[in-house]
Structure 1
Amino acid sequence: MGEPIMREPIAAAQQDSPAVALGPTALVFGVIAALTSFFISPFALIAGGLAVTFGAAGLHYARQGVGRMWPAALGMTLGTVGVLGIAALLGAFGA
């Protein structure tokens, strides 16, 4: 028979930081904000604000070597698109 195949553990390692989750969290909130900005929805403002906040924090930690840069940057960008999209819709209806 052969040696059993060792798989990577599913649980987080002890040296992992919660800051690793900031980028993916920003990405999820950014997608929600960008998709709901086409409708006048309070979810776009809430999710967009959270995406920008988590994305900025994720970028900060990614520059220090904790986490990844692209999910934080993309989440922050999509969050900004969501907030600006809802602001543009409200501005167009208010004019």
Structure 2
Amino acid sequence: MTTTPTPTAKTSATTAPTRSDSPAVALGPTALVLGVLSTVGLWVPELFVVTLPWTIIGGGLGLTLGLAGIHQARLGVGRMWASVVGTVAGAASFGWIFWLFLSVS
């Protein structure tokens, strides 16, 4: 007489990763934070020299991550509003720095 072993650990569908567990969920909020922090130099001119490197790097990353977040949100992963706001803020700060460098040269 053979017996089948009973599983000791329960396996359920809740332990499997879902679409909401994807790292793409963080693209929108990350773009939002980077975009908003990079626009500080636009709102506070006294901090322009201090925030210039952050504005260049954060604006470009906010724009890029926001566009990727919009793509993922269209596929059903992540939130669209955070991606759009991050993209707009990143584009505003990065575009402003780009325009400033072009006008100086």
What TM-score results when the alignment is normalised by the length of structure 2?
A: 0.70
In the alignment, structure 1 residue 14 sits paired with structure 2 residue 17: yes
In the alignment, structure 1 residue 52 sits paired with structure 2 residue 66: no
Structure with greater proportional helix content: 2
Per-residue CA distance 1:64-89 (angstroms, 9 max, x = gap) = 00001010010010001101222333
Runs of 4+ that moved beyond 6 A: none
The residue correspondences of 1:36-51 to structure 2 (distance < 5 A) are 36-37=41-42, 38=45, 39-40=48-49, 41-51=52-62
Aligned counterparts of 1:24 and 1:36: Cα–Cα separation in 2: 20
How many residue pairs get aligned? The number is: 82
In the alignment, structure 1 residue 70 sits paired with structure 2 residue 56: no
Looking at CA atoms only, which structure, 1 or 2, has the larger radius of gyration?
2
Residue identity (%): 48
Q: SS of 1:67's equivalent? A: coil
Match in the other structure for 2:35: 30
Aligned counterparts of 1:59 and 1:77: Cα–Cα separation in 2: 11
Q: Which amino acid aligns with 2:93?
A: G
What runs of 5+ residues in structure 2 fail to find an aligned partner? 1-15
Q: SS of 2:39's equivalent? A: helix
Match in the other structure for 1:4: none
- Aligned Cα RMSD in Å? 1.8
Match in the other structure for 1:10: none
Per-residue CA distance 1:29-72 (angstroms, 9 max, x = gap) = 00011113441411111000100110011001000000010100
What runs of 5+ residues in structure 1 fail to find an aligned partner? 1-12
Aligned counterparts of 1:47 and 1:36: Cα–Cα separation in 2: 11
